[in-house]
Amino acid sequence: MEPQLIQIIEMIAALLVAIVAYWQRTQKIEARAETSEVISFFDPVDETVTTPPGTVPARSWKMGEDTRRWVLTGHDPHNQAGLLQQIRDAEEKRLMHYYLTYQDRGGGYYEIEYGLMKGSGAAEPV
């Protein structure tokens, strides 16, 4: 083979290697930025990211059917509708932590975190 042809082949191979290296570096930078956003979102002190990045699974803010049934049990239809609307609003906003309030049974609240019930309380009887 002629030396000029060998040089051309070597230059093409070097160019391909450089393109692959550049692409890998770009992917790594994007992954780091995405990871940083997810960490900031879950960090309670850091308020720079307030809506979850696309990679955060919906189960982080969506309430499961079992929890939803538990929340609704024992409430009258009017309060059940209100609780369901509060859940829809919170899930639409992708909130990780929120409170649901109800007025029947003397009034009270449910504390929800990551779609699970974290706590609850009732108003004191008068």
Looking at the DSSP bridge assignments, the partners of residue 117 are 112
Domain end, chosen from 56, 72, 96, is at: 56
Q: How many domains does the chain have?
A: 2
Identify whether residues 89 and 44 lie together within a single domain.
Answer: no
- pLDDT tens, position by position, 44-63: 787 777 777 777 777 778 89
Tell me, yes or no, whether 64 and 117 share the same domain. yes
Q: How far apart are CA 99 and CA 111, in angstroms?
A: 5
- Which pLDDT band, with edges at 50, 70 and 90, does 125 fall under? low
Given this model, what pLDDT does residue 44 score? Answer: 75
Mean of per-residue pLDDT scores for the chain: 88
For position 102, what pLDDT does the model report?
A: 94
Q: Are 28 and 39 members of one domain?
A: yes
Give the C-alpha separation, 120 to 112, whole Å.
9
Same domain, 110 and 83: yes
The pLDDT of residue 126 = 46
CB of 100 closer than 8 Å to CB of 93: no
Q: Do 31 and 49 lie in a common domain?
A: yes
Judgement on whether residues 43 and 77 belong to the same structural domain of the protein: no
Residue 113: partners with Cβ closer than 8 Å, 6 or more residues away: 96, 97
User: Do 66 and 49 reside in the same domain of the chain?
Assistant: no
**Would the pLDDT of 29 be above 50?**
yes
Report DSSP state, residue 44. Answer: S
Mean pLDDT along residues 72-84: 94
The answer to whether residue 85 scores a pLDDT higher than 60 is yes
Same domain, 68 and 39: no
Helix axes 77-92, 65-72, angle to 10 degrees: 140
Measured distance CA(36)–CA(48) in Å, rounded: 11
Contacts of 46 (CB under 8 A, 6+ apart): 39, 40
Tell me which residue range forms the domain holding 115.
58-122
Tokens 């042809």, residue located: 5
Query: Do 70 and 93 belong together in one domain?
Result: yes
- The dihedral of CA 62, 68, 72, 74: what is its sign? negative
pLDDT of 99 over the 70 cut: yes
